[in-house]
Structure 1
Amino acid sequence: MTPRIARALRITRTPDTPRRRRAGLRELALTVAAAALAVPFATVPAEAAHAAPRTGFETSDGARWTGQPEEQEFLSAVDRASDRVAIERIGTTKQGRPLQLVRIGAPRPAAHTMLLICSQHGNEPSGREACLSTVRDLAFARDRATSTFLSRTNVLVLPTANPDGRAANTRGNADGVDINRDHIALQTAEGRAMAGVIRDQRPDVIYDLHEYGATPPYYDKDLFVLWPRNPNVHDGVHDASQTLSDRYVRPAAAESGYSSGIYGIWTDPVTGDPIKQTAGDGQERILRNTSGLKHAVGLLIESRVDALSEAEKADPALNQRRRVESQHAALGGLFTFDDEQRGRIEAATAVSRLAGFADRGPVYLGGADNDPAEPGEVIQDPPCGYRLTAAQYADVGDELALHGVTSRPDGDGAYVPLRQSARNLVPLLLDERATYHLTNGQALTAC
């Protein structure tokens, strides 16, 4: 294979954007980089490069996507050849396909953990290809910086989060369900598997790779990004996530020659001012928001599917290489952020996990960081807990457990206190006023 030549990203930092301030959408100045790298410090030695497995996408020079059997063979080959890699089956889809989690680096339970979720939507392949080659590059790199990084970091990768949708080339899974709208209800095998990983591995960072269709000239950047906007996300987690976007991922994309913007917001092509919001709200059922509610710094990334030129229209491989390379460039920003901001990330996630035990402050049933909740969407004085009947608990107990919510027996039912790490998530699951609640729990004012 042709090894990825490592380089340190030289990124011009931009100031943090305070919470609730409308983010500026000026296009970053583009500079052409020599290569777009998933891991800026990962260097594969020449002797290892010849033995390292390659994906179907790589062997075809981008003419076709890696097939599922090829992916299985590729991952097995990486696993056999590298003592850094372990692969675990975390679930099975409705059609019997495996959901595989790849672990690279420190196996210690308390290690700093990063989770990459790739191809939740089965017809969005570029993130999956970037994830597969990133797994290989981390597994085979032998430079000191990568070895040090992996000695204290647990990198988890779910290369194909929606295998059935991938096989059918559909957005949804075998039942037509959009998995990225199932992170509260947990009705899909795929959503349940991801929830279990997040609960058990407690990732500090969750990065979710997607693709989008452009609407020129208002919505046609090479990449769009978005952090958790749900107003219940702890400020430290929210602000670190926005730093990941504004100071790392977007500048890394610009360094490699790619434009970027904020997902879900159309902009004036002349002034760069926002003119319309089409998506990107605070829905708790979307992974980037669920991740924040579960105390992880996170980001959604979307690469542009549409051809950028007549050359790309004439040569699909050119289009597909650009999509994957832009994902690699953004991943470079992610890894630099995780390496440089490790202390801040861990402090933010730790404080977020502890904040619920104080059991203070309102809980928001709607709104976003750029769209304040209406008065009727705010529980100003939340209950001390919710009581579930035996029938209710039998119906939703497994989902509560997958969410990491603590509950205890109470008569013939169960009691779910708010004073716990998942405090801000509990009303979203059990209050009848919440849009995506699992059941109508009885709010208790005296516990």
Structure 2
Amino acid sequence: MTPRIRTLALACATAALAAPLLTVPAQASPTPPRTGFEESEGARWTSQPEEQRFLAAVDKASDRVSVSRIGRTKQDRPLQLVRVGAREAATTVLLICSQHGDEPSGREACLSTIRDLAHAKDGRTRDFLRHTTLLVVPTANPDGRAADTRGNSDGVDINRDHLSLATAEARATAAVIRDHRPDVIYDLHEYGATPKYYDKDLFDLWPRNLNTDEAVHKEAQTLSKAYVRPAAEADSYTTGTYGIWTDPVTGEPVKQTAGDGQERILRNMSGIKHAAGLLIESRVDPLTDAEKKDEALNNRRRVASQISALGGLFAYTGERRADLERATGAARVEGFRDRGPVYVGGADNDPAEPAEIIADPPCGYRLTAAQYADIKDELALHGVRVKRQKSGAYVPLRQSARALVPLLLDERAAYRMVTARPDMSC
């Protein structure tokens, strides 16, 4: 990292409850609002009414921030998108916070980050925000957060719905990705430890789906290994690869328990949609006797570790901006060349079987009128280009979303929405 970006990273990685994310002069006015979590010193999580008041106050106080509604849940709670920084910057970063309602630490980190960036006065932050559009969905699962449940009000795991888009929550996220085309999608979660084998302070993982463009995949791994993990480790947090158990003595992998390449998960869909995706997971379980005795202390550590990792994300965005934009920009146009296989299985650490490779993809897929009526809204939310026909619709592969099309429509895809007829006439 350059000294300037390293300084920004270190500022971002400071503990949220002890100091603001970025330097804010003491004389700054008006006084920045605080979350319910901060007001209680970690004794409780920020309530949804408190979140609404907090975001309204930040929006009113800063012209760097705008808050908009991108949907409503089944229980009529608002799904909101917060923009911080330039409206039309070349680099766009999207934070998706607390898709799982019972994993609140990422949400708290997102809320305090919004506030701290909005109120920061130093030149480094101003320069960073001039060149970056930071988009934040502070609570991606409001109904689940209200009930403290993993799923939404129907019990659906939103992070398994980024292909079918059956939930209001996943549909809202898909629309944001389609409309804003983020270069990075950073997905904040928490996990339960299995001591000795799986008990780091933070785990992360990039898109493993084999349809991720090679350069985008490389950028996602660079974000993880050269920025997010070092930033967290500089603050004495331990890090590792999500889903991989390791031998406590040798550090060698023992088995994989999660983190595959299935396309329904946002981490993987991020890569398919040409963004450097990264999943981040903070440890829920207390680490020390003091944390076992004091739940608030444990909660503060969970949130502070997420903020530390965000420092690495911001450092990466500043330092590798040109490389990132080059990778995502090239990936978005590659589909128009319409060449190469499409994978319906496998992962970057699990080679696809022959049956999982569409070696000679069709020119496109033909949908009947009934099929198209069933999924036309989802195709539009994904940004898939469709040609209407009297008999239904034709979905060509020659488009930016080339790899996504077979995952939605091919009979060989495990999570397809419909089985469409392949067109091999080209």
By the TM > 0.5 criterion, same fold? yes
- Indicate the percent of aligned positions where both proteins have the same amino acid: 69
Partner of 1:28: none
Amino acid at match of 2:104: P
| TM-score, normalised relative to structure 1 | 0.91
Question: CA–CA distance in 1 between the matches of 2:81 and 2:419?
Answer: 34
Q: Quick check: 1:70 aligned with 2:70?
A: no
- Given that 1:53 and 1:78 are in contact with CA atoms closer than 8 Å, whether structure 2 keeps it comes out as yes
Note if contact 1:41-1:146 (Cα within 8 Å) is conserved in structure 2. Answer: no
Distance across 2 between alignment mates of 1:240 and 1:437? 28
8 Å CA contact 1:207–1:298 kept in 2: the answer is: yes
In structure 1, the partner of 2:66 is 86
2:3 maps to which residue?
Answer: none
Deviation digits for residues 104-149 of structure 1 (CA, Å, limit 9, x no counterpart) = 11112x6321100000000000000000000000100111111111
RMSD of aligned alpha carbons: 1.8
Partner of 1:59: 39
Change (3 A) 1:171 1:93: same
Deviation at 1:410, TM superposition (A): 2.1
Matched, 1:340 2:319: yes
What secondary structure is seen at the aligned counterpart in 2 of 1:51?
Answer: coil
Shift of 1:42: 2.8
Quick one: which amino acid aligns to residue 347 of structure 2?
A: A
Q: Which residue of 1 aligns with 2:369?
A: 390
1:365 matches 2:350: no
Q: Secondary structure at the match of 1:207?
A: strand
DSSP-derived class of the 1:154 partner: strand
On the 8 A contact 2:58/2:118 being kept in 1, the answer is: yes
Taking the TM superposition and a 5 Å limit, the aligned residue runs for 1:55-134 are: 55-108=35-88, 111-134=90-113
AA at the equivalent of 2:240: G
- AA aligned to 2:58 is V
**In 2: Cα distance, 1:50 partner to 1:150 partner:** 20
Matched-pair contact (CA < 8 Å) for 2:64–2:118: yes
Q: Which runs of 5+ in 2 are unaligned?
A: 1-5
CA distance in 2, matches of 1:7, 1:150: 15
The letter of the residue matching 1:415 is Y
Is structure 2 residue 188 aligned with structure 1 residue 220? no
Deviation readout 1:152-176 (Å, 9 max, x if unpaired): 2111000000000000000000000
**One-letter identity of the residue aligned with 1:64:** R
- Mapped partners of 2:254, 2:276: distance in 1: 28
Q: CA deviation at 1:49?
A: 6.8
Q: For the residues of structure 2 that align with 1:8 and 1:105, how far apart are their CA atoms? A: 15
Distance 2:16 2:219 in 1: 23
Q: Does 1:203 align with 2:182?
A: yes
Equivalent-residue separation in structure 2 for 1:8 and 1:121 (angstroms): 29
Give 1:211 shift. 0.1
More deviation, 143-152/160-169: 143-152
**Residues 245 and 253 in structure 2, CA contact (< 8 A), matched pair in contact too:** yes
TM norm structure 2 = 0.96
Q: How many residues align?
A: 420
Per the alignment, residue 377 of structure 1 pairs with 356
Checking the alignment, whether the CA contact within 8 Å between 1:390 and 1:414 is kept in structure 2 is: yes
Deviations 1:202-229 (A, max 9, x none): 1011100000000011000000000000
Does the 8 A contact of 2:8 with 2:311 survive in 1? Answer: no
Counterpart secondary structure, 2:28: helix
Q: Which residue of 2 aligns with 1:408?
A: 387
Matches within 5 A, 1:132-147: 132-147=111-126
Q: Give, in angstroms, the shift of residue 10 of structure 1.
A: 6.8
Question: Structure 1 unaligned runs (5+)?
Answer: 1-5, 12-32
Contact 1:94 1:174 in 2 (8 A): yes
| Aligned equivalents of 2:211, 2:8: Cα separation in 1 | 36
Any conservation in 2 of the 1:8–1:41 contact (CA below 8 Å)?
A: no
Q: Residue 281 in 1 paired to residue 260 in 2?
A: yes
Post-superposition offset of 1:8:
4.1
CA shift digits 1:31-90 (9 cap, x unpaired): xx9934799983211122770000011111111111111110000000111111100000
2:95 aligned partner, one-letter code: L
Instruction: Report the CA distance between 1:310 and its aligned residue.
Output: 1.4
Aligned to 1:426: 405
> How far apart are the structure 2 equivalents of 1:364 and 1:382?
10
The alpha-carbon distance between structure 1 residues 336 and 37, as it changes in their structure 2 partners (threshold 3 A), is farther
Q: Hey, what's the Cα distance between the residues in 1 that align with 2:325 and 2:267?
A: 18
Instruction: Trace 1:347-362 onto structure 2 (pairs within 5 A).
Output: 347-362=326-341
Pairing 1:237-316 to 2, within 5 Å after superposition: 237-316=216-295
One-letter code aligned to 1:260: T
Deviation per CA, 1:391-441, whole angstroms, max 9, x where unpaired?
A: 000001110110010001123200000000000110000001101101001
